Amino acid sequence: MHGRGFRTQHDHDGNCVVTAALPPQDPSRHPDPWPGVCASWRRTLSVPSTSAADAPGTRREWHFLDNRDDVDATGLAPAGTLLCVHGNPTWSYLWRSLLAAATSQETLADGGPWRVIAVDQLDMGFSERTGTFRRLADRINDLSDLTAALKLDGPVVTVGHDWGGIISLGWAVRHREQLAAVVLTNTAVHPAGFTLPPALKLALHPAVHPWGTKATAAFLKVTHALAQPALAPSVRDAFMAPYRTAVRRAGVGNFVADIPATPAHPSWAALEEVSSGIRTLGVPAFMMWGPKDPVFSDRYLRDLLTRLPQADVHRFEGAGHLVQEDRDIAGPTFAWLAKQVDASHRAQGGSAAQGGSAAQPKPESAPAFRPMLAEVDARREDSSTAIVDMLAGGAARSLTWAELARDIDDLTAGLADLGVKPGDRVSLLVPPGITLTTLIYACLRLGAVIVVADAGLGTKGLGRAIKGAGPAYLVGVGRALAGARIYNWPGVKISAGDSTPAADRAGRRLLGVAATVPQLMDKGRVLRLACTAAAPAVPDPDADAAVLFTSGSTGPAKGVVYTHRRLAAMRDTLQATYKLRAGTSLVAGFAPFALLGPALGATSVTPDMDVTAPRTLTAKALADAAAAINATVVFASPAALVNVVATAAELPPARKTALAGVELFLSAGAPLGEPLLAQVQELAPHASLHTPYGMTEALPVTDIDLAGIRAAGTGEGVCVGLPVSGASVAIAPVRADGTGSLAPTTEPHVTGEILVSAPHVLERYDRLWITQEHAAAIPGWHRSGDVGHLDAEGRLWVEGRMAHVLTTANGVRTPVAGELAAESVPAVARAAVVGVGPAGAQVAVAIVETAPAARRSGLADTGLSRDVRAAVALTGLVPAAVLVIDAMPTDVRHNSKIDRAALAAWASRMLAGARPGRP
């Protein structure tokens, strides 16, 4: 051993341990062979084997990484041990970030340090090549042999990846008395009714397997190529280091051959033991997932969640199979573990957020819970109109309250008969109207969780949202079902359409449709009339009710989870804030309000428009919808109102009367300027115009009307008014680096992150544990990600997004005031102010969209540049450059939120001399 550059010493338990500073390879060729690994972590240990693959008395030489010296150097007892198990074809190098972070100051402050042992499985990494074929049961036994030799006791947290995931869980099932928690990255514990992924099928093919996994390094290179972004050459070399020759790759090939794809496989029994055994582990679990993994895709995550329903999950959008390389998993792992460590081990003290001087939210009032279907149920005998669909050509279809209640009952029974259970997720890809409303309320009555993602996200964004939510059922119109088939979206498919024509039936078979909504309603009606439909249990008010996806204007759309209680609180807040009452007639030109209309007791109508493209709402379509129900309330997005005003001249005189009867006009989604509201007021002269501020996570938060906007005048940002009924607002002051502090305040004129507290704030972000932890970092408050301030009257002013704050050499600046100033220039239709350059030394760049639109994007001409600079300079922010763009990039839902991140990147390229192009 000494002749190969190893040295022998004894560990704290008396075991003979061999350590080495370099792997056994030419140091001149690899002067820094393992970036990120400390020489002191390397260990080898000779371990007696009890595996059936070995003869009695056999000992096996293990290589592993162990940070025990680092832990000892802290002078603190470890909080526990992380036992990290790699998959195929990686090795312990995969876990270097956990080893490094386990004794960091941040981890120590959170209750650490943690000992981390990252093993090289036998025949893998730098452990012994045994010359035997080791199956799943052997590998679980091997790991138990090693931990016994190390005298490892509790608390132990298993950490696994790829096929190391099931091996680590196999160890966990057999060592429950030591187990504290499990952490998993992309892995699987069972085929779960699925065929093997194509990549593994190819690797197992007799013509490919020997060549691809052993004779050549093809399997390794393909795996390394899955990193997002690409691995650095030195890191790629480190992953390749133990597998330079065909002999050293034997374990790689054997690992692939041991995949138990069918019950006939020798490892199937061991697979069954583990996959069923983890259902009863009962310990905390954390899963960090790369959704772009072509092998262990989200379907395996969904299967794991049925076996470990207590698990916290974070899906790293854009990350793939090597999620440890694609994203920081160490920080989240130790942050999560800190919540599992006994309070007595935690560092003393607390954040400023808990100090006595910090702003505290108003105590949430807890009114008696009134289910979302209470109003529908109360009006079962009501023959007045409940809901209207406006159809092309001015025709309409409607249901009375009695008919709506009956259809909801029938669809509930039909869904239950199909197999939909409480807690099942049901993705609804159906445009607003009668069918969607009936589906929503049937799911809520059944206790199923509705998943609503806007088709305006585009095919890619929509697919990402649906796969992230992982619905058990998917209900869609034809186009949505075609997309589900092409892009392999999860869920049993249900068609929202009729079931009559033979051609339709053939199409449904092609699309894999299990049933249609009319069929389910018919079946439910039969069951109801036969008195054999079981009454669904009343859902727990604190059970999940909905996953609503954000607009995607600040990154990938996020799933926002609402419970039945919080959905009802949203309804109650709107009712109290706007004095909405049963009998209100509501035009829902904004998709979220299609969900709330019946719960409010409002007669609802959806205009003839494409709700995924708000600018398709015309003044005539709005007036037609208002006339159909004698509307008293209209809710439309800002982008929709822009087109309503633009097409007002086409409005027939007779239809103007319908809008004249509107009493309340609401618009949310983005700030509205006074000029646009004034034009809307001309269309609805008797309406009170309100622009509530809110977000998918909390709608609404504050409210202001046209008179209030005029009274507030101009200022730093956009005034969005006072908190609505039951809500509190505070500010987390922004730091010099552009981040928000954790000390909320309600002092006036302090700029920072806007904090919200209300009974109708989201329950949590869905499968985004890190995002949720950040949003809930200040007890009692939701961090909105928006930046703004309160004025002396307690009104909230929005100044942009925290992500768009400029960190200049002269301090932190927000963009909205400069943008509003730029838009005061007559030639400017819309403006954005972005920061270009490194943090702390950014310069402001003004980007403007002109009217008429510029033919080419690029530097503004001298006159326009001078006028914009002068206007923006009045706010104290002097643009270093003024650029013209033909059309602002906006988010897909509202067509009104400017994508400043894309503009900042585009501006950087333009100023660096790149050719004009799209952001």
**CATH number, residue 391:** 3.40.50.12780
Cβ–Cβ under 8 Å, residues 846 and 828: no
> What integer pLDDT is reported at residue 533 of this predicted model?
81
560 sits in the region (left: phi over 0; alpha: psi -120 to 50; else beta) called beta
Cα torsion angle, 221, 224, 228, 233, sign: negative
Dihedrals φ, ψ of 580, to 5°?
-75, 140
- The pLDDT, as a whole number, for residue 595 is 75
Residues 106 and 144 in one domain: yes
Query: What tokens appear for 250 in the block?
Result: 């034997």
Q: Give the pLDDT confidence score for residue 581 in this predicted structure.
A: 84
Q: What is the pLDDT of residue 604?
A: 93
Assess whether 330 and 391 both reside in one domain. no
Residue 860 lies in a domain: yes
Residue 337, phi then psi, degrees to nearest 5: -60, -35
Considering the domain boundaries, does residue 84 fall inside one?
yes
Contact 175, 155 (CB under 8 A): no
Do 728 and 861 share a structural domain?
no
Same domain for 244 and 134? yes
- How would you list the strands of the sheet with 782-790, edge to edge? 693-695, 698-703, 718-723, 796-801, 782-790, 752-757, 728-733
Kindly report the three-state secondary structure assignment for every residue of 21-40. CCCCCCCCCCCCCCCCCCHH
Question: How far is the C-alpha of 443 from the C-alpha of 544, rounded, in Å?
Answer: 11
Closest CA to 296 of 377, 221, 385, 226: 226
Helical segments of 192-322, H only: 198-204, 209, 218-224, 233-240, 250-257, 268-277, 298-307
Last residue of a domain, one of 539, 563, 587: 563
Residue with tokens 């379907």: 299
Same domain as 794, residue 823:
no
What is the β-pairing status of strands 396-400 and 385-390? antiparallel
Ranges of residues in the chain with a pLDDT under 50 are 1-32, 342-356, 500-501, 892-895
3-state DSSP helix/strand/coil percent for the chain, to nearest 5?
35, 20, 40
Tell me how far apart the alpha carbons of residues 236 and 221 are, in angstroms, rounded to a whole number: 9
Closest CA to 894 of 694, 652, 602, 715: 694
C-alpha 894/C-alpha 544 separation (Å) is 26
Residue 22 lies in a domain: no
Amino acid at 849: E
Residues 339 and 394 in one domain: no
pLDDT in tens, 14-44: 333 333 333 333 333 334 468 999 999 999 9
Contact present, 828 and 822 (Cβ < 8 Å): yes
Domain membership of residue 599 (yes or no) is no
Both 734 and 878 in a single domain? Answer: no
Q: How far apart are CA 850 and CA 358, in angstroms?
A: 45
Q: Return the closest-CA partner of residue 840 out of 762, 738, 763.
A: 738
pLDDT reported for residue 26: 38
Q: How far from chain centre, in Å, is Cα 459?
A: 17
Q: How far apart are CA 814 and CA 41, in angstroms?
A: 46
Residue 12: per-residue pLDDT:
35
What integer pLDDT is reported at residue 51 of this predicted model?
95
Given this model, what pLDDT does residue 220 score? 95
Is the separation of the CB atoms in 587 and 607 below 8 Å? yes
Same domain, residue pair 397 and 332: no
Neighbouring CB atoms inside 10 A of 752's CB total 26
* CATH assignment of the domain containing 141: 3.40.50.1820
Q: What is the pTM of this model?
A: 0.90
- In this structure, are strands 559-563 and 544-549 parallel, antiparallel, or unpaired? antiparallel
**CATH classification at residue 882:** 3.30.300.30
What backbone phi and psi angles, to 5 degrees, belong to 633?
-135, 140
Q: For residue 843, with 0-12 CB atoms within 10 Å meaning exposed, 13-18 middle and 19 or more buried, which class applies?
A: middle
- 304 and 420 assigned to the same domain: no
Q: Is residue 640 part of a domain?
A: no
Residue 78 belongs to a domain: yes
Model pLDDT for residues 250-269, shown as the tens digit of each residue: 999 999 999 888 889 999 99
Q: Which domain holds residue 789?
A: 692-753+784-803
Q: Among 326, 343, 360, which residue terminates a domain?
A: 343
Enclosing H/E stretch for 573: helix 564-578
Whether 820 maps to a domain, the answer reads: yes
Using the 3D structure, point to which of 544, 563, 582 is the last residue of a domain: 563
DSSP 186: E
Q: Which residues contact 658 (CB under 8 A, 6 or more apart)?
A: 623, 624, 626, 627, 630, 631
Q: Which residues contact 811 (CB under 8 A, 6 or more apart)?
A: 736
What are the C-alpha distances in Å from 468 to residues 250, 284, 337, 430, 838? 36, 21, 24, 19, 33
Q: b/e string for 717-747 if b means 16 or more Cβ within 10 A? A: bbbbbbbbbbbbbbbbbbeeebebbbbbbee
Instruction: State how far the Cα of 429 lies from the Cα of 485, in Å rounded to an integer.
Output: 13
Looking at residue 15, its pLDDT comes to 36
Q: Kindly state whether residues 338 and 438 are assigned to the same domain.
A: no
Burial class of residue 666 in the structure, from the number of CB atoms within 10 Å of its CB (0-12 exposed, 13-18 middle, 19+ buried): buried
For residues 225 and 330, state if they share a domain.
yes
Structural domains of the chain, count: 4
| Inside any domain, residue 833 | yes
Say if residue 75 is exposed, middle or buried (CB neighbours under 10 Å; 0-12, 13-18, 19+). exposed
* Backbone φ and ψ of 403, nearest 5°: -65, -40
Token look-up 């209470």 returns 374
| Cα gap 88→223, rounded to integer Å | 9
Task: Say if residue 301 is in the same domain as residue 388.
Answer: no
